[in-house]
């Protein structure tokens, strides 16, 4: 999942800290629609369920989940819009 994330500069950042399922996915879906193909979104979440949810959402939506990292309770996701 980190493949291709080096040099990926997010053009949009969303903070989903304090939000729980399904809101991090809902906010990510809304935000990614505003991007051009190839642009990268950063999403932050403290919902432990967001890790498997984002992986499933990226696979189903066809977008590239470039990176998943965790610092303490905060997950950071980088997603590249592909469609």
| pLDDT tens digit sequence for 8-32 | 899 999 999 999 999 999 999 999 9
- Measured in whole angstroms, the distance separating CA 71 from the mean position of its chain's CA atoms is 15
| pLDDT tens digit sequence for 36-79 | 999 999 999 999 999 999 999 999 999 999 999 999 999 999 99
- Has 16 been annotated as catalytic? no
Helix (H) or strand (E) holding 3: none
Residue 49 is predicted with a pLDDT of: 95
Residue 1 is predicted with a pLDDT of: 44
| Residue of 11, 17, 21, 73 marked active site | 21
Residue-range domains of the chain with CATH: 10-80 (3.30.110.40)
Q: How far apart (Å, rounded) are the C-alpha atoms in residues 51 and 33?
A: 20
Look at residue 3 and tell me whether its pLDDT is greater than 60.
no
The owner of tokens 């989940």 is 65
Q: What is the DSSP letter of 18?
A: T
Residue 6 is predicted with a pLDDT of: 59
């Amino acid at each position: 999942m980190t493949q291709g994330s080096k040099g990926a500069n997010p053009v949009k950042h969303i903070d989903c800290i304090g939000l729980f399922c399904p809101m991090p996915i809902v906010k990510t879906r809304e935000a990614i629609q505003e991007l051009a193909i190839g642009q990268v979104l950063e999403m932050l979440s403290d919902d432990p369920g967001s890790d498997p949810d984002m992986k499933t959402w990226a696979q189903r939506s066809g977008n590239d989940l470039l990176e998943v990292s965790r610092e303490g309770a905060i997950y950071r996701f980088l997603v590249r819009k592909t469609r």
